[in-house]
Structure 1
């Protein structure tokens, strides 16, 4: 039952996101990026994990630019073509290090980027189709970020889910393997987990 509910929520939110005007994506994304950059954890982090936005996701590219400009070590996910649900993480030093990968998403080029065995950034920005106030998320259903968040992390690690205010919903059905983020950042508020 929960899976069907999740699928229904996912489809409704994706439909709404797909109809967003470019100006709204830019304005709302800008508010979210400013909120993330105002976090002391962003300022302090030496290693961060970010994603490349697609299909009207929160545009975090200004965070990529800030990370590169401030000398942070920037990791980005790279999906394994032959192992669904598994991501590797490459060190990206510039946009030129990215190439089109799985699902048409820009990701670290396997021939140009370093892929360390151990990746443990202090801050990870997590995209989602929807989040609830407890930090649980609905993604595309592959479990990629749940697997990453389930791994042992640094003590000072902070996971930040980013979404537009309309993607914040009550009562996402939670499965035993679902992992929540510590902070949900929308264009209107920051929701910390206690």
Structure 2
């Protein structure tokens, strides 16, 4: 069931123009940037967007301009784990990594313990109003989220068309606390 939903949403997203992705991403960023959990966070982890995902470069630029620490996930396919690495220079630190996603170069790998994170922006393909998500199928974030401290906020950014009525769940699925689309902020818990 998840595979079919994932394939369907990815197919729909592939039809969105780059201009619409960009403009919609700016609308989502504008909603995110008004939230207290964003304003108060000092240590933020987010993914480097690729393809037709909500563009995260604006967020990274805003956070770094505000003097906040930015961290990105590094995937370890063998163990399905995520390493949290500090990003200091968007242009110089990154190279194409696993799954075609930008990750730190070896010399720019700056691992930290996930417990320092205040805010984690969690990627996904499809979401429901309860905060459950269908990711890209690796289970990385469902293993990672339990390692966060109790004070960390989890939020997903999505285009409104990525919302579905109900995500099929298992005991290992962990919902995010908020979802932000170009139209709304959803408080999930």
TM above 0.5: yes
**TM-score under structure 1 normalisation?**
0.92
The 1-side partners of 2:104 and 2:115 are apart by: 14
Counterparts of 1:1-194 in structure 2 under 5 Å? 5-83=1-79, 85-95=80-90, 96-151=92-147, 153-194=148-189
Answer with 162-171 or 116-125: which moved more.
116-125
Compute the displacement of 1:68 (Å): 1.1
RMSD: 1.3
| 1:112-157 deviation line (CA, Å, top 9, x unaligned) | 2311245431001111101000000001110011111122x33321
4+ residue segments displaced more than 4 Å: none
The 2-side partners of 1:80 and 1:22 are apart by: 30
Paired residue secondary structure (2:107)? coil
Which sections of structure 1, spanning at least 5 residues, go unmatched?
none
Paired residue secondary structure (1:146)? helix
Compute the displacement of 1:110 (Å): 2.6
